[in-house]
Amino acid sequence: MATYFDVHPQNPQARSISQVVAMLRDDGLIAYPTDSGYALGCRMDSHTGADRIRSIRRLDSHHHFTLVCSDFAQLGQLVHLDNAPFRAIKASTPGPYTFILPATKEVPRKLAHPKKKTVGVRIPDHTVVRALLHELGEPLLSSTLLMPGADTAMTQGWEVKEELDHLIDAVIDAGDTGSEPSTVVDWSEDVPVVVRVGAGDPSRFE
């Protein structure tokens, strides 16, 4: 059964955050709230996390995982950024955007797109996520908690617990989240392409 953590949305309890991070370091898979619904997360070097996410969401090997970062400096270590995307992405983060960019050697090969060698990166605007990332000291390998056949991400901690109780190790509940997933922008080529319109305003990339 998944351990259920009820945390304050603006001042998350340090003990709860530490317990969740300990589970992540022990190869755990968690569900956590973001500024655009719930996400599934594990460490980048988790032995089982990526496969567990693929199984829950019924994803194929071409799925773009997202590396959730604490800040722009951390993001810049994971992807190659030319001047134009550098300025535009920095101006848009933190926020409800995911950017698909060429991965650096810091990203494990199995997490990048098998043909394009790209990966998704994101800096959410959410206090609990920032606390988690600060305590963990590294990005989270993540995927929006969009169940097969669903149009929107899950938004309620108790629903996540009910649905995935025996499939994940922890659920963090910090109250309601946004119901729209992040807006996804593919900037793996010279020109940005909006591939999913979500919570973030896409007009600045169109």
Share of the chain above pLDDT 90, in %: 75
- Give the domain ranges of the chain: 3-205
Mean pLDDT over 15-40 rounds to 95
pLDDT (0 to 100) of residue 177:
80
> How much is the mean pLDDT over the chain?
92
Q: Is 69 left (phi over 0), alpha (psi -120 to 50) or beta?
A: beta
Phi, psi of 4 (to 5 degrees): -105, 120
pLDDT per residue as tens digits for the range 142-193? 998 989 988 878 889 999 999 999 999 999 999 878 778 889 999 999 999 9
pLDDT (0 to 100) of residue 9:
92
Q: Enter the pTM of the model.
A: 0.92
CB-CB contact of 54 with 171 (8 Å):
no
pLDDT (0 to 100) of residue 130:
94
Under DSSP, the state recorded for 125 is -
Q: What CATH number belongs to 3-205?
A: 3.90.870.10
| Residue 80 confidence (pLDDT) above 90 | yes
pLDDT (0 to 100) of residue 183:
93
pLDDT per residue as tens digits for the range 103-129? 999 998 888 887 888 999 999 999 999
pLDDT (0 to 100) of residue 104:
94
pLDDT per residue as tens digits for the range 30-46? 999 998 889 999 999 99
Confidence band of 5 (pLDDT split at 50, 70, 90): very high
Three-state helix/strand/coil letters over 51-108? HHHHHHHCCCCCCCCEEECCCHHHHHCCECCCHHHHHHHHHHCCCCEEEEEEECCCCC
pLDDT (0 to 100) of residue 175:
87
